[in-house]
Amino acid sequence: MLLQVPLDQGYLRMRVDPQLTVTSNWTIDVSDVRIVKVSNIFLAASKRDIKEFFSFSGDIQYIELRSEFERSQIAYVTFKESQGADTAMLLSGATIADLCVSITPVEDYQLPPEAYKEILVNLTP
């Protein structure tokens, strides 16, 4: 590309080589969420059933079960790493104890006091 700039006594000529500029506008959004909420769990399902279901997702630190409706309960599953929660969410729509479950991320969940004791026990060799 040739650029000409007018001056009082003629033209200044400069040769400009365009530079290839590559910028990336994408980012990898890696979730920091380590806890998922599992809804629509059959009342007869246990923590052990939940742990087995998520066994391939990642290391589980704590599971809390709460009654949701007359026929179902919810679980809050805390994974050691966020990758476990990300993998677990891919299982939404799968079946645990004959019911189709919904799995969503949770950011504002507070672990119950007994959870800290259980986590510490699991960390000690």
DSSP output for 10-25: EEEEEE-PPPP-----
For 70, the 3-state DSSP assignment is: coil
Mean pLDDT of the chain: 79
CATH code reported for the domain at 35-123 = 3.30.70.330
Mean pLDDT of 94-103: 91
Mean pLDDT of 86-92: 95
**Domain extent listing, the chain:** 35-123
Please state, in angstroms and as integers, the Cα–Cα distance from residue 14 to each residue in 4, 11, 20, 110, following that order.
Answer: 7, 10, 19, 65
What's the pLDDT score for residue 36? 96
Angle at CA of residue 105, ends 99 and 108, nearest 5° = 120
Q: Is the pTM of this model over 0.85?
A: no
